[in-house]
Amino acid sequence: MRKRCRHADYVDLAVRRLEKGIFLVSADRTKTNVMAMAWGSIGFQWSKPVFIAPVRTTRFTHGLIEATGEFVVCVQPPSMDDKMMQSGSSSGRDHDKISDLGLKLFTLPEVSVPGIEGSLITYACKVIHKASAEPRSNHTFFFGEILGTYSDESLG
């Protein structure tokens, strides 16, 4: 069961889990995709809570975020780490990773992108800025304003 919380309530847990990898969810009108993300940042920019998600420009996820201007970050429990790792080993262009991994989704009121059932923390984000990391790397940093944060009731 989920409950709404403040974005900073479990930021320490989110950052610890990010080091090992967490889910980044994106979607358009026809397809939902998930990928593994093992770096990023959470904090404040322009007096707004933000999650900064770096995504390689060649990734399927990049195009989905560009198209909708939204993404969801899901911090999974250790019991879902294998699924998170598998989500980073293939492209969602080629197949439906959500069903292949047996992930269940839930809707969020703030964005059109769903969250992943069983997540410890879910951040619903709307892109408010993006920055290219070129020429150093081919990543775009998507600055997502955190519009809603949800935690699993097991966190207290």
Give the per-residue pLDDT at 90. Answer: 85
Give the per-residue pLDDT at 85. Answer: 92
The residues, ordered by sequence, that sit 6+ positions from 35 with a Cβ below 8 Å of its Cβ are 23, 24, 26, 55, 59, 60, 61, 87, 88, 92
Among residues 113, 108, 156, 145, the alpha carbon closest in space to that of 7 is found at 145
Number of domains forming the structure of the chain: 1
| pLDDT of the chain, 156 residues: tens digit per residue | 899 999 999 999 999 999 999 999 999 999 999 999 999 999 999 999 999 999 999 999 999 999 999 999 999 999 999 999 999 888 889 899 999 999 999 999 999 999 999 999 999 999 999 999 887 888 999 999 999 999 999 997
With 0.85 as the threshold, say if the pTM is over it.
yes
* Full domain range(s) for residue 67: 2-155
Taking only the tens place, the pLDDT of each residue in 34-49 is 999 999 999 999 999 9
What is the domain-level CATH number for residue 20? 2.30.110.10
The residues, ordered by sequence, that sit 6+ positions from 145 with a Cβ below 8 Å of its Cβ are 48, 49, 50, 125, 126, 127, 128
